[in-house]
Amino acid sequence: MALFRRRATPPQMTRADVRMNARLQPKHRIEIYERPLEVLLADVAPGSEITGGGSMISPDEGIIHCDLELSLTGDPASTIETVIEALGAYGAPIGSWAQIGQEPKIPH
């Protein structure tokens, strides 16, 4: 029996941001986008997760758009393409986009 065990190397995580051009309350953002994306990420990129989300609010206009922050494992380019396709299937409006790190935004 070994006294010291090697710690498993955590998977390399890549940050990605997703913006939905949708005026949704947080409850609806979670129901429409976050829960389905969690299931999708568990299937296509195990270990990936949604690490944050929010709705941008303007004092004059109310909610302007919704954002999600993702931590992706594996091939982030492939995973983000799958996320973008899923957003379309979930009804994300034109003007929505995703971005890996500081790379150019990928429109929906």
CA angle 22, 80, 76 (to 5 degrees): 145
pLDDT the model gives residue 50? 96
Listed residue (60, 67, 59, 53) closest to 22, CA to CA: 67
> Per the domain annotation, does 5 fall within a domain?
no
- With bands split at pLDDT 50, 70 and 90, how would you rate the model's confidence at 108? confident
The residue with greater pLDDT, 84 or 10, is 84
> Per the domain annotation, does 3 fall within a domain?
no
Range of the domain at 83: 14-102
Q: What is the pLDDT of residues 22-74, one digit of tens each?
A: 999 999 999 999 999 999 999 999 999 999 999 999 999 999 999 999 999 99
Which CATH number goes with the domain that contains 35?
Answer: 3.30.310.180
> Per the domain annotation, does 9 fall within a domain?
no
